[in-house]
Amino acid sequence: MYTSAKQRGSSRAPNYSSGGRTSNGSGRSSGNSRGGSSFGSRSASRSTGRPSFGGNRGGGGRNKRKSSYERIDVSRFISKSTVVEKEEIYLPTHTFGDFKIDTKLKLAIANKNYIYPSPIQDKSIPHALDGRDILGIADTGTGKTAAFLIPILNKILKDKNETAIIIAPTRELATQIEVEFNDFAQGMRIFSVVCVGGMPITAQIRNLRRECNVVIGTPGRLLDLVKRGEINLSSTRSVVLDEADRMLDMGFINDITFLLEKTPEDRQGFFFSATLPKPIEKLIERFATDPVKVMVKTRETSKNVEQDVIRLARGEDKIDALCDLLSKEKEFKKVLIFSEMKHSVEKLSNELVKRGYKSGSIHGDKRQNDRQRTLTKFRNNELNILVATDVAARGLDIPEVTHVINYEIPQTYDTYIHRIGRTGRASKKGVALTFVG
């Protein structure tokens, strides 16, 4: 239980206020580079006669925009979850063994100890195997990555000339997708290339010119490679948009439209999004053909996350209040702290290190290798505090985060929901705290 500063007898401790009603509430994949289709240069395409990512230059600009703050009722940051609701248990209609997929893929799934599919996998994979377009409304952590990787890998196992492009909003999410791809594709001689900003483009071009079937990347870098003639999407018949609404928020709508325009009309589309804003709905109407809509029912905020606010006393230093909180509460084992600006993230993390905390930071100005190194340390508990911007932490699936702290109030309530969703995962309890005032 959280207590007020007076109850703890400390003038520096933050005051938890119940100021509102309680509600219920690496670029190249592992493996030998020989074999499989090529996503390489135009010369490679001519020499092998296989699909490639070469040719097709074109324009297309970045539509960057700054989102404005919305007025958020602070009481929405408070939820004690005092009412226990009976949760509906989903009973899958299939096992993974029931799916009409290649035996090698079934073995790879069994090696991951997967038996029963998650709701989005259970509802979408059979339709995807029939070649249908899929519109999945689901959050991170619902199993959507396997929902598109399994059908795509099955297509490639049937025909090694098949290629796919997977578009994700951030470098971290693209890397996570590649890790899962490698797990499923191990020993199949099916290869991927990750193409993201912040990594040397020359190495990515070199890997594209080798034989691969799947490209996973962020919109900006993929657009750049298309313009350079290193990616040709004219024969790419599997396209994935992962976290489409986040790409809209980040200003990538023109980029992904441009990329989709380069794919053939008979492509199969996998469109996944936590929400369905109007621009994304229009995009899907334009590029999807009679998609199967799969909606995974989720609560607005996780029932496992207790939410509260931290009100600073007059004249109280914010960093002192944060450190007092971190040092006095034993349950702060793995903490993700959000701040708005890159420089403030770095400054806060450095200050925590000076005060003896095992802290690291991720933001857009850090090199990809540094970001990955920091994330690995956080996952492995070498660091127990990670300070991040929203964009850098977008799509991260880090297990056992005990607390999310909003050091600065998020710009939108939707962003708040995304932030606190980093804790309380896999039926574990979590706490989200927001500094206000």
Q: Look at residue 37 and tell me if it is in a domain.
A: no
pLDDT one-digit tens code per residue, 91-127: 788 899 999 999 999 999 999 989 899 999 999 999 9
Residue 404 and residue 330: Cα distance in Å, rounded? 15
- Verify that 280 and 310 share a domain, yes or no: no
- Verify that 190 and 251 share a domain, yes or no: yes
Q: Look at residue 36 and tell me if it is in a domain.
A: no
Residue 369: give its domain's CATH number: 3.40.50.300
Number of structural domains found in the chain: 2
- DSSP class per residue in 173-219: HHHHHHHHHHHHHTTTT--EEEE-TTS-HHHHHHHHTSB-SEEEE-H
Q: Look at residue 29 and tell me if it is in a domain.
A: no
Residue 378 and residue 374: Cα distance in Å, rounded? 6
The whole-number pLDDT of residue 40 equals 55
Residue 361 and residue 414: Cα distance in Å, rounded? 23
- Verify that 104 and 236 share a domain, yes or no: yes
Residue 179 and residue 115: Cα distance in Å, rounded? 20
The whole-number pLDDT of residue 24 equals 35
- Verify that 231 and 168 share a domain, yes or no: yes
Phi/psi at 245 (nearest 5 deg)?
Answer: -65, -30
Domain range enclosing 239: 42-295
- Verify that 401 and 416 share a domain, yes or no: yes
pTM for the predicted model, two decimal places: 0.66
- Verify that 66 and 193 share a domain, yes or no: yes
Residues in the chain, pLDDT under 70: 1-74, 79-89, 297-302, 329, 392-395, 426-427
**How many Cβ atoms sit within 10 Å of the Cβ of residue 244?**
29
pLDDT one-digit tens code per residue, 358-389: 999 998 888 878 888 998 899 899 999 999 98
Closest alpha carbon to 337 in 320, 352, 354, 355: 352
Say if CB 123 and CB 294 are below 8 A apart: yes
- Verify that 138 and 79 share a domain, yes or no: yes
